[in-house]
């Protein structure tokens, strides 16, 4: 999470959505930086509204606006699948070594989920469960150029992203049947992605 006091803006770092690259580019400009420990770096919208925003309001009269990125659920799961294939997880319950992406998604659809597939949901990260509200400026991950153009203009600071914490770049496929089951079980995640911005607000 990054807070820019002068520009009255908070960037919430949704996992597996380019947050490490954005943090690396903009942390020196931010007034508050939550990083390193995942519970701090990936502060959810609910926790931000519950605690962090109240702390910020000790120093300003109006709440800052919020922004974040969201990936389509199956694409987001693909990033987790590749990430958890890494050697540092070999032999642990969270490793996806030896699994196909279909098997990983089957695990994600299970109840309870096996440890390797227990990765949460974008919707839960970005939605306040009581009010149903989300961040002020939610962009699609696949519209990264539009997001960085808007963010750079908002912060008066051109943004050049370097690849950071990138999952292995190899092709994976998901069966149409499993994709349909994902869409049926988690419609909120797909709807939130569909409603996210692909262009800068007017």
Give the tens place of pLDDT for each residue, 57-111: 999 999 999 999 999 999 999 999 999 998 889 999 999 999 999 999 999 999 9
The span from the CA of 25 to the CA of 196, in Å, is 23
- The answer to whether 168 touches 82, Cβ cutoff 8 Å, is yes
Is the pLDDT score of 167 beyond 70? no
Q: What is the CATH number of the domain that holds 162?
A: 3.40.50.300
**pTM attached to this predicted model:** 0.93
pLDDT score, position 166? 55
202 occurs within a structural domain: no
114 occurs within a structural domain: yes
135 occurs within a structural domain: yes
**77 in helix, strand or coil?**
helix
Q: Put residue 107 in one of left, alpha, beta given phi > 0 → left and psi -120 to 50 → alpha.
A: alpha
Is the pLDDT score of 11 beyond 90? yes
Look over the chain and give the mean of its residue pLDDT values, rounded to a whole number.
94
Other CB atoms within 10 A of residue 189 CB = 24
Whole-angstrom CA distances from 5 to 10, 27, 63, 184 are: 9, 13, 10, 41
Whole-angstrom CA distances from 44 to 47, 84, 86, 98, 118 are: 5, 22, 25, 32, 17
183 occurs within a structural domain: yes
The better pLDDT of the pair 3, 87 is held by 3
173 occurs within a structural domain: yes
47 occurs within a structural domain: yes
200 occurs within a structural domain: no
pLDDT score, position 164? 54
Number of separate domains in the chain:
1
- The answer to whether 60 touches 154, Cβ cutoff 8 Å, is no
Is the pLDDT score of 48 beyond 90? yes
pLDDT score, position 163? 65
76 occurs within a structural domain: yes
User: If pLDDT is split at 50, 70 and 90, which confidence band does 183 have?
Assistant: very high
Q: Which domain covers residue 79, as residue numbers? A: 2-195
User: If pLDDT is split at 50, 70 and 90, which confidence band does 169 have?
Assistant: low
The better pLDDT of the pair 88, 164 is held by 88
Over residues 43-50, the mean pLDDT reads 96
Is the pLDDT score of 170 beyond 60? yes
pLDDT score, position 200? 85
pLDDT score, position 201? 80
* Residue-by-residue DSSP string for 99-128: --HHHHHHHHHSSSPPGGG----HHHHHS-
Is the pLDDT score of 123 beyond 60? yes
């Amino acid at each position: 999470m990054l807070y820019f006091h002068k520009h009255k803006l908070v960037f919430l770092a949704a996992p597996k959505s380019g947050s490490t690259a954005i943090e690396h580019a903009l942390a020196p400009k931010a007034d508050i930086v939550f990083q390193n420990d995942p519970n701090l770096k990936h502060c959810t919208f609910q926790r931000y509204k519950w605690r962090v925003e109240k702390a910020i309001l000790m120093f300003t009269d109006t709440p800052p606006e919020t922004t974040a990125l969201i990936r389509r659920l199956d694409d987001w799961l693909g990033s987790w699948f590749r990430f958890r294939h890494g050697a540092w997880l070999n032999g642990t319950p969270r490793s996806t070594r030896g699994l196909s992406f279909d098997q990983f998604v089957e695990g994600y659809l299970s109840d309870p989920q096996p440890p390797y597939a227990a990765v949460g949901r974008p919707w839960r990260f970005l939605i306040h469960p009581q009010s149903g509200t989300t961040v002020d400026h939610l962009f699609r991950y696949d519209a990264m150029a539009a997001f960085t153009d808007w963010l750079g203009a908002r912060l008066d600071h051109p943004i050049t992203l370097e690849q950071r914490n990138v999952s292995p770049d190899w092709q994976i496929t998901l069966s149409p049947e499993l994709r349909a089951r994902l869409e049926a079980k988690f419609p909120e995640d797909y709807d939130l992605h569909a409603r996210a911005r692909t262009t800068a607000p007017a």
